[in-house]
Chains A and B, each alone.
Chain A
């Protein structure tokens, strides 16, 4: 029974209460870089979920065999290997998305969320909870990416997933796309707004 409760916590906490981006404040760099449009945000989110879940499982399976003084290196090798595999798969099966994301898939290796969860959770827990933790944190990250990508594409280009959403009549009446939304600083401001909204609702997240 205790295991079941813990599994639910492990899976659902990172979605809101312990969200990697807005509570743990990890992985901000990639949020800035890929969220100019919604489609790359979704592809990036799915890629991170895959890499994080599998990296967590692999490291958890190996956790009792890794010598302490090279554990960061081992974690890095596993993550790097998985990221290269994801990159190759994208190039083969989702070429357009991979062109849009270009170097940012490779930069998943540098995403703090991965090393953070491997060190903090996978090194000390069994494979199944580690898998759930990876999926949970990955989804928490993907949710933030989708929210930021949604607003940046809608307000910055007037489109969503490439389809024109803002009707031409708005443009004729004088509406102009917010060019600032396409630039990275806006992503930072949007993340700050999400943190603000979340902490207004969750008093226990507020630091005094």
Chain B
């Protein structure tokens, strides 16, 4: 057959595409379970990081099950939703919904005997792509125990610094309820203080937009938890 003819060329391409497409589909299908395991383990490690727990590489799932003693989903009114699993909630999608329609996961972490922290996921937008994280609250529902932030493509050395402990450790000890009012932590330029008297942390120098993104993310994602956190604080007083 004439190798340079149009018919041969077209048939050749069609066969090639079918073969390559099949090979790729088969590979993706075969590897999907392992990949999902990896993604889940990564998410578990991030949640634990908010509570200052760093599991060893091959012990991530075991440590997660050990420390996270319960997980549930609440709505904006603080009521527990029964038909949803916390780990399966796609925070990225939920963050775009109106607050009263969101499913809000809560992870309860028992860091030591009788001491529990409540880990809430957050999701927002940085400069170049999404940013997300987990914030761990003390049982008084107001004081932050620890936080973990991650990003997809922020600038190394600037916006990407939100991943470093130097940034996230600032949140420890800050409170979201002051004088009875709920105010999420503000992220401001170093040396400034917010106008409203709320607790704040220093943003990244040179990473203004990412820092602002973190502030908006906390505002958007923590505010729906207000009722839940209020309930928590009332339980502690009791």
Contact = CB atoms under 8 A, between A and B. Distances in A.
Answer yes or no: do A and B interact.
yes
Interface of A: 36, 65-70, 73-74, 77-78, 80-81, 84-85, 88-89, 91-93, 95, 99, 102, 179, 182
Contacts of A74: 12-13, 16
B128 to A, nearest CB: 12
A66 B12 contact: yes
A66 B228 CA distance: 65
A73 B157 contact: no
A91 B38 contact: yes
B3 to A, nearest CB: 5
A88 B35 contact: yes
Given A73-B13, A95-B39, 11 more contacts: A36-B156, A65-B12, A67-B9, A68-B4, A70-B9, A85-B24, A85-B27, A92-B31, A92-B34, A95-B38, A179-B157
A78 B20 CA distance: 8
A70 B13 contact: yes
A89 B12 CA distance: 28
Contacts of A36: 156
A73 B16 CA distance: 11
A88 B8 contact: no
Kindly name the residue among A36, A89, A91 whose own CB sees the greatest number of chain B CB atoms within 10 A: A91
Interface string B5-25: 000110011001100100110
B20 A89 contact: no
Contacts of A70: 9, 12-13
A35 B115 CA distance: 44
Contact of B157 (A78, A92, A99, A182): A182
A80 B156 CA distance: 28
Q: Is chain B's interface secondary structure helix, strand, loop, or mixed overall?
A: helix
B90 interface: no
28 contacts: A36-B156, A65-B3, A67-B3, A67-B8, A67-B9, A67-B12, A68-B4, A70-B12, A73-B13, A74-B12, A77-B16, A77-B20, A81-B20, A81-B24, A85-B24, A85-B27, A88-B27, A88-B28, A88-B35, A89-B27, A89-B31, A91-B38, A92-B34, A95-B35, A95-B39, A95-B41, A95-B42, A182-B156
Nearest to A84: B24
Contacts of A91: 31, 35, 38
Nearest to B9: A67
A179 B156 CA distance: 11
Interface string B26-48: 01100100110011011000000
A89 B9 CA distance: 32
B30 to A, nearest CB: 9
B193 to A, nearest CB: 29
Nearest to B23: A81
A69 B39 CA distance: 43
Contacts of A78: 20
A131 B17 CA distance: 23
Given A67-B8, A73-B13, A92 B20 contact: no
Contacts of B12: 65-67, 70, 74
Contact of B38 (A65, A66, A92, A102): A92
A81 B16 CA distance: 11
A85 B23 contact: yes
